[in-house]
A and B are shown apart, each in its own frame.
Chain A
Amino acid sequence: MSTKEIATMTTGDETPVSIGPAAHPERWVDEHGDYLFHFALSRLRNPTLAEDFVQEALLAGIKAHHRFEGRSTERSWLTGILRNKILDHFRRAGRETTFTDLDFHGDEETRSFEDRGFLPHWAADRAPGEWGGTVENLDRDEFWKAFNHCTAKLPERSARVFLMREVDDTSTEEICAALGITPNNLWVMLHRARFALRRCLEVAWLGRTPESTE
């Protein structure tokens, strides 16, 4: 491929960007569209917004295609762009949201424990059940269905924080900076998200005492 094949364009006052023939944006939609969409939707929870972000990420992908060096797969490279776009979005919008989500888990947590002696102990019907499994056991489609179902049921902010931390492995500093919260806030939110998620999985995935889901 000669450099002549690489068209150079200038958009406004930006530096010139080049698009190599290797960039086939329409192919991206077919090959990675669903993947990126589900990624965005699980974090943004709004199909229209998710679609917008996929578009934004793909457009950014076209512009930055010359920087893609094939060190990762095209998909993970595009996912990285999308992830950063969403993080930016949270950074802009995040500070307005209040901590109402924290109240949500309060009830569930209160119902899970009862005072026995002078220390709160697990309520008999809420104590964690036997999962009897390894990571391999968990890594199955039924598990992921329940996982998607349960993370979707978490309050938006909790789910966002949980997915960023546990799935994307974003650092504490990065999350705190993006959401404008302190590490202590983050740890409390993570604790509550994990608490609710574990409980929900036990019900949705292992079918244990569904009365408690409300």
Chain B
Amino acid sequence: MADGEPATAAAMTFLERCTKALERARASLMPGCREMTRRSSDALEREPGLFDRIGARIHLAMCSACRRYRTQLNLLHRTARRWRPENGSPKRLSPEAKERLKAALKKHVDEGDCDHDHG
């Protein structure tokens, strides 16, 4: 059988591919907690694939620590947008820095021959 060898090789490659695909599906469907932290972050950025989503659902249903992680990340995500520079002891410009800024702005306006003739 002259065709025997290539056929076996092709079958091997096919089997290898199947194994790899199965392994990927398993990893997708059965994530560990570490992988789950990555998915929880990614979920805020883009739509996950089908297997990833199913796997995440199953994991979250069983793991309270990862549920908390996801909830907290979502909270952080919604709260961060409310950040304002004046929240929580902000850094301020020193009086000297303010004077420097004012001087620079004044110079800029003056150099522009901008005569506001008030009176």
Residues of A within 8 A of B (CB): 5, 7, 9, 11, 19, 21, 25-26, 28-30, 33-39, 41-42, 47, 51, 54-55, 58-59, 62, 109, 112-113, 119-122, 127-131, 133-135, 138-139, 141-148, 166-167, 169, 172, 186-187, 190-191, 194-195, 197-198, 201
Contacts and interface: CB of A to CB of B under 8 A. Distances in A.
A211 B46 CA distance: 35
Contacts of A25: 102, 105-106, 108-109
Contact of B108 (A62, A191, A197): A62
Interface string B83-102: 11111111111000110111
Contact of A34 (B42, B76, B81, B93): B93
B101 A54 contact: yes
Nearest to B67: A128
B114 A7 contact: yes
B31 to A, nearest CB: 8
Nearest to B73: A194
Contact of A147 (B88, B91, B92): B88
Interface of B: 30-35, 37-38, 41-42, 44-46, 65-66, 68-69, 71-73, 75-93, 97-98, 100-102, 104-106, 108-109, 112-116
Nearest to A37: B93
B79 A135 contact: yes
Contacts of A198: 69, 72-73, 76
Closest 8 CB pairs of A and B: A144-B88, A119-B32, A144-B87, A38-B85, A145-B88, A191-B41, A25-B105, A166-B80
Contacts of A195: 37, 41
A37 B75 CA distance: 27
A201 B75 CA distance: 12
A185 to B, nearest CB: 12
Given A141-B87, A191-B41, A127 B79 contact: no
Nearest to B64: A127
B102 A26 contact: yes
Given A195-B37, A198-B76, A33 B98 contact: yes
B92 A34 contact: yes
Contacts of A191: 37-38, 41-42
Contacts of B104: 55, 59
Given A62-B108, A119-B33, A29 B101 contact: yes
